[in-house]
Amino acid sequence: MSRGLLEVAVRHARDVPGCEQGGADRLSLSLEGDGDGLSPDLALAASVIRATELPVRVMLRLNESLTTTGGEFMRLIGLAEEYVALGAEGVELGFLDADLEVDNETCVALAKSLPGVPWTFHRAIDATLEPVRAWRQVVGLPGLTAVRSGGSPQGLAHGYDGLLSLAEGDPDIARLLLPAGGLLPEHVPWLLRAGVGQLHVDLQVRPGATWRSYVDADFVRSWRLMLDDAADRSA
C-alpha cells in the first residue's frame, strides 16, 4: 500500500517547522473562524508558503456562513489566483445553497476559474441534510482531490460510523475522503482498510489541544508513524 497522506492544519508560519520535522505531507492554511476557518490575508499566506517546500492548500471563505454572494464570488476568484501565484499548491472551498444542498454551480465555477489547480471541499458537506446525495454531487466536481468531512456537524465523535460505512460502500468516496473533526488513533486502521488514503489533523498536534500553541513535531510524528504502521498492516 502506498504511503498515506497526512495533512496538518496551520495558522501561521511558526507552525511550519513542527509539520516538516514531524513528517506531514501537506498543510491546510486558514484563519480561525467558525467551522474550517476563513481566508488568510496575502501576507500571511505568503509567509507560510515561503516557509516550506510542502504543498499548501489555502482556504477560500470570506464569511462564516456556508453560502457566498455574487460580490464575494469575484473576490474569491481573485484571492485564489493570488494564492496560487504565491505558490499555493491548491485551495479549499465548499458552498451550500439555501436548502443546505451543495451549491454545485458556485463550486464548479470556482474550480473552472483555476484550471489544473487541485482543491479540497471542506466540512460544509457535513451540514447538508442528505449526506449521501451530497457525496454524489461532489464526487464528479472538476479538480477535486479531497473532501474533508467528519460525517456530522459535530465531527467524528458523532459521524464516524456513517462516514466509514460510506467509504466502505463506494471506492470513489473512499478515494476523496479526508477524515477530519476529532480524528482518533483508533479510527485510522479502519479508515485505511476502507480505502481511505489521507487524514487531517489539527488540535491533535498542538500541546494542550489549543490553537494558542504551535504545531509540535513529536505530535505530528506520532500520527505519521501511526498512519504508516496502519498502512503496512492493511497491506
The one-character DSSP state at 21 is: H
pLDDT-derived band of residue 1, with 50, 70 and 90 as boundaries?
Answer: very low
Given this model, what pLDDT does residue 62 score? 81
Alpha carbon distance 203, 214 (integer Å): 10
What is the C-alpha R_g of the chain? 17
pLDDT tens for each residue of 104-122? 999 999 999 999 999 999 9
Alpha carbon distance 5, 85 (integer Å): 24
Edge-first strand order for the sheet with 90-93 is 177-179, 144-149, 119-121, 90-93, 56-59, 26-29, 5-10, 198-201
Q: Which residue carries 480561525 as its cell?
A: 32
Q: Is residue 73 scored above 90 in pLDDT?
A: no
pLDDT-derived band of residue 2, with 50, 70 and 90 as boundaries?
Answer: low
Amino acid at 169: G
Domains of the chain, start order: 5-234 (3.20.20.380)
Given this model, what pLDDT does residue 24 score? 97
Reported pTM = 0.93
Given this model, what pLDDT does residue 32 score? 81
Beta bridge partners of 31: 38
Helices (H), the chain: 16-22, 42-50, 70-86, 104-112, 131-139, 156-169, 171-176, 187-193, 217-234
pLDDT tens for each residue of 167-203? 999 999 999 999 999 999 999 999 999 999 999 999 9
The residue ranking higher by pLDDT, 111 or 231, is 111
The residue ranking higher by pLDDT, 99 or 22, is 22
Alpha carbon distance 112, 191 (integer Å): 31
- For the record, the C-alpha cell of 105 comes out as 454551480
Given this model, what pLDDT does residue 33 score? 60
